[in-house]
Structure 1
Amino acid sequence: MIRKIVTLLFVLSFTIIGKAQDFQLGKVTVEELQEKRHPKDTSAVAAVLFKKGRMELMLSQKHGFMLNTIVKMKLKVYKKEGYQWGVEKIKLYATEKVKEEISFIKASTYNLVNGVVVESKMDDKATFDNRINKFWNQKNIVFPNVKEGSVIEYEYSIKTPFYKRPRDWNFQTEIPVNYSEYKTIIPEFYIYNTITKGFFSPKIDFKLKEKKATLEISSLLRIEEYKEKHTTYILENLPALRNEIYVNNVNDYCSSLIQQMASGDFKIRDEKEEAEQWNKVLQSIYDLEFAKELSQNTFFEQDIKPLIVSLSTPEEKIIAILSYVKNNIKWNGDLGYEAENGIKKAFKIKSGNIGDINILLTSMLIYAGLDANLVLSSTRENGIAAFPVTSAFDYVISSVKTPDKIFLLDASEYNSMPNILPLRVINWYGYLIVNKGNSQKINLVKSESSYKFTSMNFEIAPDGVVKGKLKQQQNNHNAMLYRDYVANENLESYIEKLEIESGKIEIKDYHRENVNELQKPIVEYFSFSGNSLCEVIHNKIYFSPMLFFALKENPFKQETREYPIEYDFPFENKYQINVRIPEGYSIESVPNPIEISIIEDIAKFKFLTKVIDNEIQISVVHQIRESVIKAQNYDLLKEYYQRIIEKQNEKIVLKKA
């Protein structure tokens, strides 16, 4: 992720913008409504014509400083697939004591009817609210009469007392953006650290302006004079933010602006000061959310003590306690690092959110005498934590340090194991919180491979019918994902899908091992037959030795790529294949062996063949050794996959003797 730290007081580093265009609502033209496609992206279903935001830190007589954000948007719908842009969803922080307030100033749809611009204003009934969780509401706005060719305009303002962490401003979105402008107005005595991320850097204009505010203090009116910092950020002609394969969260690479108020006159200047700020935030979370919960360990003592009394090694205790929590406390589906119910209540009702479950797990591990701590993190959906601020996190897991290694644990997922975390939380890094000490940055991206080993023996009849037997083993994340997939699917349905996905084969004698023994690899066995796995032409038989395992298309289709390639985890796929040649046939040709290695052996492919009597032996290995590959290596990786596809689909040719 491209990351830039901008100190707002450092005026000399700013690029001054020339006079901006006058983008105003209510000025929809016939030409805009007649436009059939976006001039720079003809595939676009819609486009943002302009988007303007104004964030002002205002002095309120009643509430002190309040943050007021005004958003103006004008967008164009080109195709039916763009109708989704006729619904706007806005999240609002709301608790029993305090909430953010939103008001719509304008919301209209414009269409061209018989050559005349016709405005359809939003009805009050077209808005409704959803309660997301105990902290967040969602305002939903449905615009009227949206059609192909419509122009939508709206304006709203949000007032909030939470001025320390303004809303992020996304210059980029899933459709092209012609013009995006964001302006901040901040009193001179407040400092906001600012990050711009993404692949496009905004032009910046900075001005200082005089400001007067009237305050009533002890029944006396007092005029305060101070300066305001007016900063404008502008980006134009932004391409659509398109999701691509092997990207955890495309919004991590969205061109956007993120702000966080610095404490006092503090502004982040270097990595050391940033680390210190992280430690302060993490310690405050520990004190507020974790300290009290972790001190409670008597209510589960009668359950945990007999569980571990006969166990001697840290690994045995970790597995026993992790299994106990997974089997007795069910995840209710809610995220959050805070214990929603409190661990004592969660233990009693056998249910809780992520915080309840993993704080309880950590408390039990500490009780067992293990060096256990909590690790704060952010899910893939929430994005990468950019600022040392509590709202950067929405997840917490547990960790145990042994003399040999650190184990990361998540008891919310039944099929997870030590260092085999749910994919939702494998998001770059987390922060291991040590009370009254320096917290540690922990890499959550796995370095240990998950393997899949397939052994397949088959023979081909002269009429082209293939019959064989297969055994497949999977471990680590491969095994976890397999167990998750089959957990709620009956065996008959699973086999039926497997038959279709494997080239309409017929499967018999299917069975599997170790589905519930999580420390062991998953093993599948079955016999198969198929009459569409090879071609018989005259006196020759043509077939790919990998049958239904051969890759058919390259996952990388774009000409260029800006985002890094993010695999869920490193992996190694091995195939050992034995083919029996039918009686009366001989080998005309087999694929030549090949070995491919790129990017210092991060990606490796090996295809070897050997003929012994009337058998052909094929050994295939495909290995990706790191989870994240830089975008600059995209062309190499794309070509690498293309060569794999070509080799895996090469035919063995048998001819009748």
Structure 2
Amino acid sequence: MKTFFLAYLLTISFCFQAQSGFNSNDYTVTLNDLETNIYEKDSTANALVIYEYGKSYIDDRNFKLVSDIKRKLKIINSKGFNKATVSVYLYNDGKSKEKLRNVIATTYNLKGNTVVHTKLRDDEIYEEKYNENYTIAKFTLPNVKEGSVLTYSYTTETPYVFNYKEWEFQDDIPKIFSEYNTSIPANYEYHIKLVGFLKLKVNESVIENYCLTVNGGGHADCTISKYVMEDIPAYKEESYMTTKDNYLSKIEYELNTIKKFDGRIDKISKTWKDVDKELRSDSRFGRQLNVNVSNESFSSEPNLLKRAENIYSYVQEEYTWNETFNIFGDTSVRDLMKNKSGNVTEINMLLHNILEANGIDVLPVLLSTRENGFATQLFPVISEFNYLIVQATIYNKTYLLDATDDYVSFGELPFRCLNQYGRLLDLKKGSSWIDITPNNLSTIQYKVDLSLEENDILVGKINTTATGYHALPLKKEYYENNTAYVNKYKEKYHSISFIDHKVTSKDKASYEFLEEFDIEYATEDISGNLYINPFLFKLMEENPLKLQERTYPIDFGFKDAYLYTLKIDLKDKYEVLETPKEMNISLPNNKGLLIFSTKIVEGSILLYFKFNFKETIYNPDYYESLKLFMGTIVDIQKNSLIVLKRK
């Protein structure tokens, strides 16, 4: 550990920054960096990246990709201590490997008027095996305390120039300044993609002549690029999202072409025409789509839609998904037919083949699930797909099918598949992108019909109807254990006496889930007045949107609507003293609507509460409106009262 007093020149630097907050201009640690212990733009931050800088280039001595990294962080409180541990993933293929070198790391602490800096020792850097292809180089900066400022820099060197270093501007802590510089020789052509919803402050490129030379006189010009983001909010996960990889702001690279100095051209990236041709002849894919299943005949049903539904039900019931995707691994439809269990690809290829053998027009569809991230649309990256479904066209109408889930109805997909788009594989005419968006509205409806009896007890029925993606979790809970399902209601709504419960929908694969509850509910008597919360069942228990700011879309996956109606027969024995205030609000651009009203009609109280979301995905600009909208929904259900008095 070394201790030094603030010298004159250092004091000048510190004083210069004192009026401007953290020093995000460069790597230098200033007095303000040490003394400031809150980030005004995010008071919840536990740590903060003040400044980070990256530079990647091709070394003209060995033609390896070199990346120099520098970061300066502020540890605001103890919950940010984990940011003192740095992990660098290094790839190897058994022949060559990536290397980490030139690690320099220092912790700065302020003790009175003294800056104490503690340097990382070389023996505090270690490696651990992650898997067969990756090693993690790790180090933890020493003497970290609340208020510490950390700086570290290192260099990575890799022979894998096809995998140009991506740069993540956004992390789970805020950043004030992030800069990435690249030097790419003209003989390497990359697809460059900016991911996320934050905008670059600087995005500029220039040409540097003769930046790369080789023996024999060959040379290349380079594109020198600079990318900067400032005031980058922390990425915080919340409800209604897919994987964070879809939203974290970053720059990614995919090598397209290498132009060698002898004039040869190696095309690395493929076109979809190339991919279609390869898939058609692939033994694990194209050939599996032609496996003979002629013994599975359903042709006695003349109606093609009913025939397709029968085939779909057959595959659902007879074959079990083994919970693996394995889209391009070992795939065998024949093994599935023998073992009655298989992965996603095998089950849906079997579905495809039986439908096709029975006169149904079908095509396979590749997609990437919500947890896997978006597949690139600019060019084929086949490894980004992890799932296969089937498109059937019947009487000029298309249906997307997945037979892996017993509870999913015909024409519906498991929720994991709702990731906006997929690649329709017509291996003869050519593949194309299609939307993966549910056509039907998913709904929840509660119809409550009660009468107020002499003992001030409400007696009656609650009929519930759930459809689509709102029905799926209810069906799974009920059919897996119907006793536990009913007990869950009793525990959740302990003020309600459940007399009877029955399910009236057809079966577990029905699009609707229909229930009927016989209930009794005691009113609350205060000073001779009866107080009733009209919402016996809640449509939304709490507001799921809680962030101060959200930089990524609100992705419901499907459009939905909610309806709660209540009728209380007062039997002409009660006077209504108070009913909830009526309300009618909408989201901007009419993207959602809420209606709440209460009326007295012929001796009965009639309450109507409806709200809907007209989009599957809302961009971040709608976040505050959605948060207020949902907060209003929760508030109406929690705080509405009907007050009655006996006549």
Q: How many Å separate the matches in 2 of 1:497 and 1:406?
A: 38
> Structure 1 counterpart of 2:234, which letter?
A
Report the secondary structure of 1:155's partner residue: strand
Task: Between 70-79 and 447-456, report the one with greater CA deviation.
Answer: 70-79
> Structure 1 counterpart of 2:224, which letter?
H
In 2, are the aligned partners of 1:107 and 1:143 still within 8 Å (CA)?
no
1:171 Cα shift?
A: 0.8
1:552 Cα shift?
A: 6.1
1:227 Cα shift?
A: 2.0
Residue 471 (structure 2) pairs with residue 479 (structure 1): yes
Aligned equivalent of 1:398: 390
In 2, are the aligned partners of 1:78 and 1:149 still within 8 Å (CA)?
yes
1:296 Cα shift?
A: 3.7
1:467-525 deviations in Å (ceiling 9; x for gaps):
4432212122112232344566x444433433343365343423435585303522223
Aligned equivalent of 1:117: 117
> Structure 1 counterpart of 2:515, which letter?
E
Aligned equivalent of 2:5: none
Aligned equivalent of 1:37: 38
Aligned equivalent of 1:236: 230
Report the secondary structure of 2:471's partner residue: helix
1:432 Cα shift?
A: 0.8
1:251 Cα shift?
A: 4.3
> Structure 2 counterpart of 1:436, which letter?
K
Report the secondary structure of 2:188's partner residue: coil
Residue 449 (structure 2) pairs with residue 450 (structure 1): no
Residue 357 (structure 2) pairs with residue 358 (structure 1): no
Aligned equivalent of 2:508: 517
Residue 589 (structure 2) pairs with residue 589 (structure 1): no
Report the secondary structure of 1:401's partner residue: strand
Residue 348 (structure 2) pairs with residue 373 (structure 1): no
Task: Between 229-238 and 312-321, report the one with greater CA deviation.
Answer: 312-321
> Structure 1 counterpart of 2:300, which letter?
S
Q: How many Å separate the matches in 1 of 2:405 and 2:90?
A: 29
Task: Between 500-509 and 406-415, report the one with greater CA deviation.
Answer: 500-509
Aligned equivalent of 1:3: none
Aligned equivalent of 1:507: 498
1:399 Cα shift?
A: 1.1
- Of 96, 106, 110, the match for 2:103: 106
Q: How many Å separate the matches in 1 of 2:71 and 2:385?
A: 29
The correspondence of residues 545-564 of structure 1 with structure 2, limited to 5 A, is 545-549=534-538, 551=540, 554-557=543-546, 562-564=551-553
Aligned equivalent of 2:208: 208
The correspondence of residues 87-236 of structure 1 with structure 2, limited to 5 A, is 101=98, 103=100, 105-106=102-103, 110=107, 112=109, 116-121=116-121, 127-131=127-131, 139=136, 141=138, 143=140, 148-150=146-148, 151=150, 153=152, 155=154, 157=156, 159=158, 161=160, 163-164=161-162, 166-197=164-195, 198-203=197-202, 204-214=204-214, 222-236=216-230
The correspondence of residues 77-96 of structure 1 with structure 2, limited to 5 A, is 77-86=75-84
Q: How many Å separate the matches in 2 of 1:607 and 1:86?
A: 52
Residue 308 (structure 2) pairs with residue 318 (structure 1): yes
1:44-77 deviations in Å (ceiling 9; x for gaps):
112223333333356797xxx7655554444333
> Structure 2 counterpart of 1:443, which letter?
D
How has the CA–CA distance of structure 1 residues 240 and 467 changed in structure 2, closer, same or farther, with 3 Å as cutoff? same
In 1, are the aligned partners of 2:421 and 2:436 still within 8 Å (CA)?
yes
For structure 1, which runs of at least 5 residues remain unmatched after alignment?
1-19, 216-221, 266-275
Aligned equivalent of 2:242: 248
Q: How many Å separate the matches in 2 of 1:463 and 1:247?
A: 48
In 1, are the aligned partners of 2:66 and 2:155 still within 8 Å (CA)?
no
> Structure 2 counterpart of 1:255, which letter?
S
1:404-452 deviations in Å (ceiling 9; x for gaps):
3211122333322333222222111112121132433211122310122
Q: How many Å separate the matches in 2 of 1:479 and 1:417?
A: 10
TM-score, with structure 2 as normaliser: 0.80
Q: How many Å separate the matches in 2 of 1:240 and 1:372?
A: 44
- Of 253, 259, 277, the match for 2:253: 259
Q: How many Å separate the matches in 1 of 2:52 and 2:192?
A: 20
Aligned equivalent of 1:538: 527
1:134-162 deviations in Å (ceiling 9; x for gaps):
9x75747473666544537363526253x
Q: How many Å separate the matches in 2 of 1:314 and 1:513?
A: 28
Aligned equivalent of 1:470: 462
1:361 Cα shift?
A: 3.1
For structure 2, which runs of at least 5 residues remain unmatched after alignment?
1-22, 260-269
In 1, are the aligned partners of 2:576 and 2:643 still within 8 Å (CA)?
yes
1:208 Cα shift?
A: 1.0
How has the CA–CA distance of structure 1 residues 74 and 635 changed in structure 2, closer, same or farther, with 3 Å as cutoff? closer
Residue 426 (structure 2) pairs with residue 421 (structure 1): no
Number of paired residues?
A: 605
Q: How many Å separate the matches in 2 of 1:463 and 1:486?
A: 33
Q: How many Å separate the matches in 1 of 2:139 and 2:503?
A: 50
Report the secondary structure of 1:569's partner residue: coil
TM-score, with structure 1 as normaliser: 0.79
In 2, are the aligned partners of 1:209 and 1:227 still within 8 Å (CA)?
yes
Q: How many Å separate the matches in 2 of 1:433 and 1:319?
A: 22
Q: How many Å separate the matches in 1 of 2:526 and 2:122?
A: 67
Report the secondary structure of 1:547's partner residue: coil
Q: How many Å separate the matches in 2 of 1:107 and 1:409?
A: 55
1:176 Cα shift?
A: 0.8
> Structure 1 counterpart of 2:362, which letter?
A
Aligned equivalent of 2:380: 389
1:175 Cα shift?
A: 0.9
How has the CA–CA distance of structure 1 residues 277 and 409 changed in structure 2, closer, same or farther, with 3 Å as cutoff? same
In 2, are the aligned partners of 1:343 and 1:359 still within 8 Å (CA)?
yes
1:375 Cα shift?
A: 1.4
1:79 Cα shift?
A: 2.8
- Of 635, 640, 646, the match for 1:650: 640
Q: How many Å separate the matches in 2 of 1:398 and 1:506?
A: 46
> Structure 2 counterpart of 1:585, which letter?
Y
1:377 Cα shift?
A: 1.7
Aligned equivalent of 1:55: 56
Report the secondary structure of 2:309's partner residue: helix
1:313-355 deviations in Å (ceiling 9; x for gaps):
3333433333344445444444453144444444444444433
In 2, are the aligned partners of 1:87 and 1:140 still within 8 Å (CA)?
no
How has the CA–CA distance of structure 1 residues 397 and 496 changed in structure 2, closer, same or farther, with 3 Å as cutoff? same
The correspondence of residues 323-338 of structure 1 with structure 2, limited to 5 A, is 323-338=313-328
In 2, are the aligned partners of 1:473 and 1:523 still within 8 Å (CA)?
yes
In 1, are the aligned partners of 2:285 and 2:328 still within 8 Å (CA)?
no
> Structure 2 counterpart of 1:427, which letter?
N
Aligned equivalent of 1:568: 557
How has the CA–CA distance of structure 1 residues 42 and 606 changed in structure 2, closer, same or farther, with 3 Å as cutoff? closer
1:644 Cα shift?
A: 4.4
> Structure 2 counterpart of 1:293, which letter?
R
Task: Between 232-241 and 287-296, report the one with greater CA deviation.
Answer: 287-296
In 2, are the aligned partners of 1:545 and 1:579 still within 8 Å (CA)?
no
How has the CA–CA distance of structure 1 residues 363 and 128 changed in structure 2, closer, same or farther, with 3 Å as cutoff? farther
- Coordinate RMSD, CA, aligned: 3.9
